[in-house]
Amino acid sequence: MRIAIGSDHAGFPLKDTVITAVQAAGHEALDFGTDSTASVDYADFGEKVGRAIQQGQVERGILLCGSGVGICIAANKMRGIFAAICHDIYSAHQGVEHDGMNVLCLGGRVIGPEPVKEIVTAFLSARFVGNDPGEERHARRVGKVKKLEDELGS
């Protein structure tokens, strides 16, 4: 898979760890910035990664800011983006499997490099199970979320 990576200044110190973990898992990492710890706005990088997914340039994204919260909120404002903060392995794979999560958000001031490697690996190895026999409930639930987006969103 092609994975878009974006961070603000607070997430920047962990960005290379994420890129390395993506590559170690056998995927291509596309770096959408930022390139330093100089102050920038997280929403700009959430948008860049979200647009890359919307336009089909990448299959998934990983975003970093200080807490993971701001960049997650920004990404979720975009149609078709299912972003969540995951600071544990279970949420990282379950979010993909059951909820169709396509963007992993991480807090650079919350979590360290070793857990990030495992979380990124779990996120990338997971697949949505909603189309599997006996798992249709997940597709139904994600469909309801998409309907809300269509009716209420941008």
Q: Which of 9, 27, 93, 98 is catalytic?
A: 98
CATH number at 71 reads 3.40.1400.10
Give domain status of residue 98, yes or no. yes
Give domain status of residue 151, yes or no. no
pLDDT score of 114: 97
pLDDT score of 153: 55
Residue 119 above 90 pLDDT? yes
Q: What is the mean pLDDT of residues 118-142?
A: 94
Q: Which of 27, 65, 93, 105 is catalytic?
A: 65
Give domain status of residue 136, yes or no. no
Q: What is the mean pLDDT of residues 90-111?
A: 98
Q: What is the mean pLDDT of residues 126-140?
A: 93
Q: Give 36 or 154, the one with higher predicted confidence.
A: 36
Give domain status of residue 29, yes or no. yes
Give domain status of residue 50, yes or no. yes
Active site residue 98: yes
pLDDT score of 149: 87
Give domain status of residue 118, yes or no. yes
What percent of the chain clears pLDDT 70, i.e. is strictly above it? 98
pLDDT band at 127 (very low <50, low <70, confident <90, very high): very high
> Range of 72's domain?
2-128
pLDDT band at 77 (very low <50, low <70, confident <90, very high): very high
- How many whole angstroms separate alpha carbon 106 and alpha carbon 14? 9
pLDDT score of 151: 83
Structural domains of the chain, count = 1
- How many whole angstroms separate alpha carbon 138 and alpha carbon 48? 28
pLDDT digits (tens, 9 = 90+) for 18-29: 999 999 999 999
pLDDT score of 150: 87
Q: What is the pTM of this model?
A: 0.96
